[in-house]
Chains A and B, each alone.
Chain A
Amino acid sequence: MVTKKIELLVGVFLLAGVVAFLALVYKVANVDVSTNSDTYTLTAEFTNIGGLKVRSPVKVGGVVVGRVSAINLDAKKLAPVVTLTMDKKYADFPETSSVAVLTSGLLGEQYIGLTPGFMDDGIEILQDGDRIADTHSAMVLEDLIGQFLYSSKDK
Chain B
Amino acid sequence: MNQEQTTLVEINNLRFSRGNRVIYEDISLKIPRGKVTAIMGPSGIGKTTLLKLIGGQLYPDKGEVLFDGQNIHKLSRNALFEARKRMSMLFQSGALFTDMNVFDNVAFALREHSDLPEEIIRRIVLMKLEAVGLRGAAQLMPGELSGGMQRRAALARAIALEPEMVMYDEPFTGQDPISMGVLVKLIKDLSDALSLTSVVVSHDVAEVLSIADYVYVIAEQKIIAHGTPAELRQTDNPQLRQFIDGEPDGPVPFHFPAAEYKKELLCEHS
Contact = CB atoms under 8 A, between A and B. Distances in A.
A and B, direct touch (CB closer than 8 Å):
yes
Contacts of A1: 99-100, 104
Nearest to B111: A1
Nearest to B107: A1
Contact size class for B? under 10
Contacts, number: 3
A1 B118 CA distance: 14
Contacts of B100: 1
Interface residues of A, number: 1
A35 B104 CA distance: 55
Interface string A1-25: 1000000000000000000000000
A1 B102 CA distance: 11
A1 B104 CA distance: 8
B101 to A, nearest CB: 9
Interface in B84-113: 99-100, 104
A1 B112 CA distance: 14
A1 B99 CA distance: 8
A1 B107 CA distance: 11
Nearest to B104: A1
A109 to B, nearest CB: 54
B108 to A, nearest CB: 10
A1 B100 CA distance: 6
Nearest to B97: A1
A5 to B, nearest CB: 15
Contacts of B104: 1
Nearest to B100: A1
B36 to A, nearest CB: 35
Contacts of B99: 1
A84 B98 CA distance: 64
B110 to A, nearest CB: 14
B104 to A, nearest CB: 6
A1 B101 CA distance: 8
A108 B99 CA distance: 58
Interface of B: 99-100, 104
3 contacts: A1-B99, A1-B100, A1-B104
A-B interface, 3 closest residue pairs, ranked by CB to CB distance from nearest: A1-B104, A1-B100, A1-B99
